[in-house]
A = this chain, B = another copy of it.
Amino acid sequence: MAVQKPSIPKGTRDFSQREMARRNYIFDTIRSVFRLYGFAPIETPAMENLSTLMGKYGEEGDKLLFKILNSGNYLLGVDSEILHDDNINRLTTKISEKGLRYDLTVPFARFVVQHRNELQFPFKRYQMQPVWRADRPQKGRYREFYQCDADVIGSDSLVSEVELLQLIDEVFARFGINIAIKLNNRKVLAGIAEIIGEPERLVDITVAIDKIDKIGIDAVNEELSSKGLAQEAIAALRPILEISGTVDERLEALRKLLASSETGTRGVDELNEVIAMTRDLGLRAQLDLDVSLARGLNYYTGCIIEVKALDVTIGSITGGGRYDNLTGVFGMPGVSGVGISFGADRIYDVLNALDLYPEEATMTTRVMFANFGALEALASLRLMKRLRAQGISTELYPDAVKMKKQLSFASAAGIPFVAMIGDSELADGTVTLKDMIAGEQHTLSHDALIEKLKA
C-alpha cells in the first residue's frame, strides 16, 4: 500500500490530552449544573433521516447539511433524466436518505414527538453532543462542534425562564467568567412592529435591529428603508431603540410606548415578572434589557436570552428563548418550551484567553514509576497496585531505558512525581520519590509513599 500523508477534513479537529482535559472540564461543569437543576440527559443518533432535517433551517441550512450517500448501488433505479437534471437536488434526494445532525433542537423535537407516550411532561432534558455543518471554516467556526442544550418542554410557566437564568448564572460563576445576560421578548418585538404601523414586517424589522450593536442605528434605518419600510415607521422606531436609563426605567418607558399593543404589553409583563423573580433570588451576573435582541431565530415566541462575556471580545457564548411550536411539524402542535444552548467552543476560547482553568483540568498521571529492569518493574507494579486501590493514578515506564530519557518523558508529560525502585530500594523495601517540580527526592517506605500521594 502506498504511504499516505495523514490529514483530517478541513474544519474538523483532533483533540490532544491537554485539550481534552480542558474540554472535559467545560462539559463536566455544565453537566453538573444541568443535573443540579433536574435536567435529564438524552442522546440522539448522529444520523437523522433527511426528511427530519430538510426544511427546518431555511434554504441556506439545507445546503449546509452533511448528507450521507446511500449504501450499495445507490444509482440503481435512478432515472437518467434525473441524473442529467440541472437541479442537483432531485438526484440528491434519490441517492441520499440520511444526514448528520445540524443542531440539537430539531432532533430533540423529533425525539419528543416520537417518544411522547413514554415521557413525563413537563419534560426537562439536556443534551451534549456534536453537530455538523458544511459551513466555510474560519477562525472559531468549525464543521464539527459540540452543543450543550437544556430545554423544558410542555409548560408555559415563566418559572422555567427564571430557573434557566439561575442555571446560566451558576455555570459561569463556576467557570469564573463575568457575564452580562441580555433579555428581550418576542412579544415586545411584535408590539413594536404593531405600534409603528408595520405588524406584517416583524421579521424584516427584527433582522435589521438585531444588528444595531454591530452597525449602528443609522445603518439599521437604511436597511429598513431599503426593505421598503415606510419613513414614518422608521421615524417611530427610533425613540424605542433609543430608550435609555436603568433596566427599570427602560421597562417603564417601554410599557408606556407599547400601551396600545396588547401583545407588546404582555411581553413587557413577562419581562417584568422574569426580572423581578430573578432579582429576588439574587443573580451574580448583570441582567440587562435589550430590545434589539432577536437572535435571528424566528421560532422564538416569548423570552429571548443572550449571554456575553464581559472581559473578552467575542460573540454570544450562550443563548436561548421560548418557542411555542417546535414539535408542530412532527405532528404535536401547541407545545410550549424554553431552552438554552451553551457554546462550548467559545467558552473554551474565553477560558483560554483569561487563563481560568483550575489545576484539576490538567489531568495527568500523578506518579510515574521508572523502569530499572524486570525484577524492579515487578516490584513497582506490586506497589502501583496498592496506589491504584487508593485512587492514585500511576503508570510504569514500559522500557528499562536510560533514566535521563525516562525522566524527560515524565517532565514533558507534566507528571508531577517519579517513583524509583532500583537495586537498593528493592533490597530494603523502600521507594525513592522525586518531586519533578521542586526537583528534590526522598527515600520512603511504601506506606509513606501512599500517604504522601494521597494528600
A-side residues, CB < 8 A to B, are: 1, 3-9, 12-17, 20-21, 24, 35-38, 40-49, 51-52, 55, 63-64, 66-69, 71-75, 83, 88, 91-92, 95-98, 100, 110-111, 113-115, 118, 120, 122, 124-125, 130, 132, 134, 143-144, 152, 155, 157, 159-160, 162-163, 166, 170, 277, 280-282, 328-331, 363-365, 368, 371, 377-378, 381-382, 385, 388, 391-399, 409, 412-413
Whether the Cβ atoms of B368 and A38 lie closer than 8 Å is yes
- List the B side residues contacting A35 at CB < 8 Å: 363, 393
Task: Give the distance in Å from the alpha carbon of A88 to the alpha carbon of B72 in the complex.
Answer: 9
Q: How far is the CA of A9 from the CA of B55 in the complex (A)?
A: 18
Q: Is the CB of A159 within 8 A of B381?
A: yes
Q: What would 18 A/B residue contacts be, using CB atoms closer than 8 Å?
A: A3-B330, A4-B52, A5-B331, A6-B52, A7-B49, A8-B44, A8-B110, A9-B45, A9-B48, A20-B42, A36-B392, A63-B71, A71-B134, A75-B88, A120-B412, A157-B371, A280-B382, A282-B385
Given A71-B63, A88-B73, is A47 in contact with B12 using a C-beta cutoff of 8 Å?
yes
Does A1 lie within 8 Å of B413, measured CB to CB? Answer: no
B45 touches A69 (CB 8 A): no
Main secondary structure of the interface of A (DSSP, over half): mixed
Pair A20/B4 contact, Cβ less than 8 Å: no
Q: Is the CB of A45 within 8 A of B8?
A: yes
CB pair A12 B45 closer than 8 Å? yes
A17 with B122: in contact, given A9-B98, A330-B4 (CB under 8 Å)?
Answer: no
Please determine whether A42 and B17 come into contact, CB atoms closer than 8 angstroms.
Answer: yes
In angstroms, Cα B352 to Cα A82, docked, is 49
Please name 15 further chain A to chain B contacts, defined as beta carbons within 8 Å, in addition to the given A6-B331, A8-B110, sorted by A numbering: A4-B329, A5-B330, A9-B98, A12-B46, A14-B43, A15-B43, A36-B388, A38-B365, A47-B66, A63-B72, A66-B69, A74-B88, A152-B398, A166-B385, A277-B381
